[in-house]
Amino acid sequence: MQTKKGQSIEDASMQMIEDEIGLHPYSEKEWPIVRRIIHSTADFDFADKNKIIFHKDAIESGMKALKNGCSIVVDVNGVIGGLNKQNPKDFGNDIVCNISKPEIMELAKKEGKTRSQVSMRAAKSDIDGGIVAIGNAPTALQEVIQMVKEGIVKPALIIGIPVGFICAAESKEELSKLEEVPFITNLGRKGGSSSASAIINAIFKLIRAESAS
Amino acid sequence: MQTKKGQSIEDASMQMIEDEIGLHPYSEKEWPIVRRIIHSTADFDFADKNKIIFHKDAIESGMKALKNGCSIVVDVNGVIGGLNKQNPKDFGNDIVCNISKPEIMELAKKEGKTRSQVSMRAAKSDIDGGIVAIGNAPTALQEVIQMVKEGIVKPALIIGIPVGFICAAESKEELSKLEEVPFITNLGRKGGSSSASAIINAIFKLIRAESAS
């Protein structure tokens, strides 16, 4: 849902990224995703120092699940803010974010955990078979990895791109070693909710391009 | 609204930033704002290549207006997503984001503008005396600058930190030349809704620290 002017600005931006990026290691389906992250951050480090890492089944599995109306579970409201809302509307995806619920706060305090960590376990039934996108909290990503290892969830795709100084890089490294569940993640401290939304928006674009062709 | 664990992670992150930043040019009130942007992006460029620029009255004017319950007008929902919601609740600030309204889409199409651009003029009465925070759209920032020059609004503070390839740097340079209205902006292409939210969250922290002392 964009005006002609909005679309022309986006097209010109994407062209600038193409002109400046030079050679890159990404496949035909990976590159539009990485390019959209660079577009939303103006940060070419996401193709280099903080580069994006794709599990071999990530894009196919994510496209299939989203197209079939799977849930999208996010750690923070910022990820929702950056989503193109027309997509989940058209494909019937529920967006789940439990972090602000009072019972999550209570439980987190009781268990000595972070709110986002507890909010992941509370979304168990939506994460299983769904897409989970973490843009902010390494503790949330660690919790999802733990749930996968416990065998209680099998998400169609984990988008794990939290930003931060404490355990962000480490949690993403741990994710990149998962073999049983498709993931998209990146190297280092950088990331964020805008990058998480950019990845989801880009996958929906791939779905629309595929059905248009 | 944070758990003990959440707060301890934040404190440790801030300490890492302090340890790594070295010398910087920011004043005692400016630094907590810049530090919070670095915290939310893991990007030290915001203290250097993309450094934050403060109008001399920016922090005082922003603190006073927020404390008195002024409106907070934002260009995109992502800025709202990153806000600590307890602050506007406690201080009675209305948060205004018109971009998703159907009438804004209609008007933007009719006038050949972007939605965010048109959404700024639609928020005229809230921008006047309020805080406007732009994290995404250079066209929205240009529109606010134009409205200031036309003399139809006088915001208490313009937070202009859009990200992007087309006119982002240019719109921020134009903002940094405004003398009649306090602003916080930065150099270059980088920015984003997380940075805009971080600035607002940090100003609220300054208000709370002041009233606690």
pLDDT tens sequence across A79-88:
999 999 999 9
* Cα A28 from Cα A84, distance rounded (Å): 22
Residue B77 C-alpha, separation from nearest chain A C-alpha, in angstroms: 5
**How many CB pairs (< 8 A) connect A and B?**
141
Q: Which of A35, A36, A39, A121 is catalytic?
A: A39
Give yes or no for a contact between B42 and A190, defined as CB atoms under 8 angstroms apart: yes
Above 90 in pLDDT, residue A182? yes
Give yes or no for a contact between A131 and A66, defined as CB atoms under 8 angstroms apart: yes
What are the beta bridge partners of residue A131? A72, A157
B129 φψ region: left (φ > 0), alpha (ψ -120 to 50), beta (else): left
Among A12, A42, A79, the residue with its CB nearest the CB of B163 is A42
A182 touching B (Cβ < 8 Å): no
Determine whether B39 is an active site residue.
yes
Above 90 in pLDDT, residue B22? no
* Window 119-178 of B, Cβ < 8 Å to A: 139, 163-168
Residues of B in Cβ contact (< 8 Å) with A163? 40-42, 194
CA-based Rg of chain B, rounded to a whole angstrom?
A: 17
- Give the tens place of pLDDT for each residue, B23-49: 899 999 999 999 999 999 999 999 999
Give yes or no for a contact between B182 and B62, defined as CB atoms under 8 angstroms apart: yes
- Give the tens place of pLDDT for each residue, A42-62: 999 999 999 999 999 999 999
| Domains (range + CATH), chain A | 4-212 (3.40.50.10230)
* Cα B100 from Cα B91, distance rounded (Å): 25
Among B12, B77, B112, the residue with its CB nearest the CB of A81 is B77
Which chain A residue is nearest to residue B106, measuring alpha carbons? A3
- Give the tens place of pLDDT for each residue, B48-60: 999 999 999 999 9
Mean pLDDT of all residues belonging to chain A: 96
Mean pLDDT of all residues belonging to chain B: 96
* Cα A197 from Cα A134, distance rounded (Å): 9
What are the beta bridge partners of residue B160? B134, B185
* Pair of tokens at residue A149: 């290892």
- Give the tens place of pLDDT for each residue, B93-113: 999 999 999 999 999 999 999
Among B5, B42, B113, the residue with its CB nearest the CB of A113 is B5
**Alpha-carbon distances of A36 from A13, B74, B101, B150, rounded to whole Å:** 10, 22, 25, 35
pLDDT of residue B2: 80
Q: CB-based contacts of A202: which residues, under 8 Å, 6+ apart?
A: A32, A33, A35, A36, A37
Mutation site, B165, B171, B187, B200, interface A, largest A CB count within 10 A: B165
* Cα B209 from Cα A80, distance rounded (Å): 30
Give yes or no for a contact between A175 and A149, defined as CB atoms under 8 angstroms apart: no
Q: What percent of chain B has pLDDT over 70?
A: 100
B88 touching A (Cβ < 8 Å): no
ipTM of this complex? 0.94
Cβ <8 Å between B193 and A190: no
Segments of chain B assigned E as strands: 52-54, 72-74, 95-96, 131-134, 157-160, 183-186
Residue A201 C-alpha, separation from nearest chain B C-alpha, in angstroms: 14
Above 90 in pLDDT, residue B137? yes
At residue B34, the 3 state secondary structure works out as helix
Give yes or no for a contact between B161 and B135, defined as CB atoms under 8 angstroms apart: yes
* Cα A141 from Cα A120, distance rounded (Å): 8
pLDDT of residue B1: 67
Above 80 in pLDDT, residue B176? yes
Give yes or no for a contact between B78 and A82, defined as CB atoms under 8 angstroms apart: yes
* Cα B12 from Cα A21, distance rounded (Å): 35
pLDDT of residue B126: 98
* Cα B162 from Cα B189, distance rounded (Å): 8
Give yes or no for a contact between B44 and B156, defined as CB atoms under 8 angstroms apart: no
Q: Which of B39, B55, B115, B172 is catalytic?
A: B39
Give yes or no for a contact between B144 and B120, defined as CB atoms under 8 angstroms apart: yes
Mean of pLDDT values over A8-20: 94
Residue B184 C-alpha, separation from nearest chain A C-alpha, in angstroms: 19
Residues of A in Cβ contact (< 8 Å) with B101? none
Cβ <8 Å between B191 and A42: yes
Give exposure, B72-100, as e/b (b: 16+ Cβ within 10 Å): bbbbbbbbbbbbeeebbeebebebbbbbe
Residue A64 C-alpha, separation from nearest chain B C-alpha, in angstroms: 26
- Give the tens place of pLDDT for each residue, A112-142: 999 999 999 999 999 999 999 999 999 999 9
